[in-house]
A and B are shown apart, each in its own frame.
Chain A
Amino acid sequence: MATLEIRDLHVSVGAGEEEKAILKGVDLTVSSGQTHAIMGPNGSGKSTLAYSIAGHPRYTVTRGSVTLDGEDVLSMTVDERARAGLFLAMQYPVEVPGVSVSNFLRSAATALRGEAPKIRTWVKEVKAEMTALGIDPAFSERNVNEGFSGGEKKRHEILQLSLLKPAIAILDETDSGLDVDALRAVAEGVNRAAESGELGVLLITHYTRILQYIRPDFVHVFVAGRIAEEGGPELADRLEAEGYERYLQPTS
């Protein structure tokens, strides 16, 4: 049972006169077995939240705290956060020329488990997950994300989620740019990973479409760097019907 607690989180980018506040006091708690959807218009700070939790150097936390089971996440390096149990499926996964998918997956598994996985069971494990996600086995020998289509990149992110078994997974717009087949494959992958009840999911999305496949327990509406409204899955249905307009109206 793991719990990610975000308290009064303020994050900015840039420095000096260029500094721009993006997150303005976010409070959120995600525990194992729960699926939270964060929905919001473009530019509301959803991705900033994801990258700040993962520790991307572009973002500066100016106030607040992030803890995982009481441990201070913000004082950890990027790789320490991953080893503590956090995972970020990226919206735009990065190409790593020269490093094959198989080498990459094995290096990551070795780092996370503290020892190299046994070769025979590992190969079997990777193959099974690839098959489940509809990934061609030849994929293993390709360089990480190099020349991947949008759908391949996202499947590859979910493949990592399945194999690396984090405690809390943040999925940053994993659904954007996918056709229906890829969306379904990716969503099923997330559901399989969550099946054990040990995974907490923070699903960041602009669209409600993926919520037809991954049913959230909680929905948070993100506007202008903070959570504007919270509710159950019914809130997603309402957003589907009404859009974000009513949050964007100036309150007078």
Chain B
Amino acid sequence: MTGREEEWRFTPLRRLAGLHDATFTPGGRITRTLHAPEGVTGGVVSMDDPRVGAVLTPFDRISAQARSAATEAYAVVIPAAAVLTEPIRLTVTGEGGRDAAAFGHTLIEVGAHAEATLILDHRGTVTYADNVEVNIGDNASLRLVTIQDWDGDTVHAAHQRIRLGRDARLRHAAVTLGGSLVRLFTTVEYAERGGDAELLGVYFADAGQHLEHRLVADHTVPDCRSRVEYRGALQGADAHAVWVGDVIIRAAATGTDTYELNRNLILTDGARADSIPNLEIETGEVVGAGHASATGRFDDEQLFYLQSRGIPAEEARRLVVRAFFATLLQKIGDATISDPLMAAIETRLAKGPA
């Protein structure tokens, strides 16, 4: 790996704390806390468990490193037909500091016809690489919110792969706010027809932060749907956001309906957003396939305009940023999840560029 590979060309390798070339310093730890309604089980399983590797085969250097270094996996199982009214919260807390590496492996099994919300909440300070395998059974529905609100020094290279069974529904929401470098690679695959995946993302990059989101929606079977919408705000010197969205529609995947969108709002000078949507189509018999990307600035003229109507400067910024994120956060569909996220974004905004 040199950093010139297409997949790595935006990632500052020297800031990966050795995750990519095995020069990392071991000694980091992560602890997991599970809050789950009755019927849901969570616990450690062996890396020899047949479910390990059933959905996610390591697909890059760091994914492979995480797989080989993880000593155990943690499995959350939602039984078939369970309809949960309360969210499951799996909190992953990193310890050991910036230069201490830890590796993780997580399995999430959603039984057929089940309906659940799972919040995967990452906090603390650590250097962490992990693989998350999600298997959604036939006609099941999962809302998966993955929050990366690490402390300042954390490096996190995450790989999440979700398989949707027949008529399964996924609403995936990635929220990346904290950490020095966060690189989240999310892949969706469809085992059978009728899968419906919505992939939402919100990020806020401050000075010096590198927040990278890569997505693949791999349409291999007919009549599945994918929707991607990521929105990010950036402020401060060397705040860097990367979004790469790949949608592949294979020859067999007729009737596919897909659309992906990324929008960035640059709040101050010195921040940079890279946004690359890719669409690869091998069949013309689709319902829809499109993408869009736009990066806009919040500039002094906007601030002047809003202020000239009596709106104080700080309120003016909040107005613009709130509007930018509000519609997306609403799509998460649960105010108990989205309201704290909006509050977290506003706190960051109020703090101003570091």
Contact = CB atoms under 8 A, between A and B. Distances in A.
A104 B329 CA distance: 20
Contact of A103 (B308, B313, B319, B324): B319
Contacts of B296: 97
Given A99-B319, A111-B315, 14 more contacts: A54-B308, A77-B307, A78-B308, A79-B308, A79-B312, A81-B308, A82-B311, A94-B302, A97-B296, A98-B265, A100-B323, A103-B319, A104-B319, A111-B312
A98 B304 contact: no
Given A77-B313, A94-B302, A82 B323 contact: no
B38 interface: no
Q: Interface residues of B: mostly helix, strand, loop or mixed?
A: helix
Interface string A56-82: 110000000000000000000111011
Contacts of A57: 300, 304
A2 interface: no
Interface of B: 265, 296, 300-302, 304-313, 315-316, 319-320, 323-324
A88 B311 contact: no
B315 A82 contact: no
A107 interface: yes
Q: Which of B296, B310, B319, B324 has the most CB of A within 10 A?
A: B310
25 contacts: A54-B304, A54-B308, A56-B304, A57-B300, A57-B304, A78-B304, A78-B308, A79-B313, A82-B308, A82-B309, A82-B311, A90-B308, A96-B306, A97-B296, A97-B324, A98-B265, A98-B323, A99-B323, A103-B319, A104-B309, A104-B319, A107-B315, A108-B306, A108-B311, A111-B309
Q: Which of B306, B307, B308 has the most CB of A within 10 A?
A: B308
A184 to B, nearest CB: 25
Nearest to A51: B304
Contacts of B319: 99, 103-104, 107
The 6 closest A-B pairs by CB, nearest first: A82-B310, A108-B309, A78-B307, A98-B323, A111-B310, A94-B305
Contacts of A99: 319-320, 323
B162 to A, nearest CB: 30
Given A56-B304, A99-B319, A164 B309 contact: yes
Contacts of B301: 94
A160 interface: yes
A26 interface: no
Given A79-B310, A79-B311, A164-B310, A103 B304 contact: no
B320 A96 contact: yes
Given A99-B320, A107-B319, A112 B310 contact: yes
A160 B323 contact: no
Contacts of B310: 79, 82-83, 108, 111-112, 164
Interface in A42-64: 54-57
B202 to A, nearest CB: 14
Contacts of A100: 323
A99 B318 CA distance: 10
A90 B309 contact: no
A93 interface: yes
A54 B324 CA distance: 27
A82 B320 contact: no
A108 B307 CA distance: 9
Contacts of B302: 94-96
Interface in A97-117: 97-100, 103-104, 107-108, 111-112
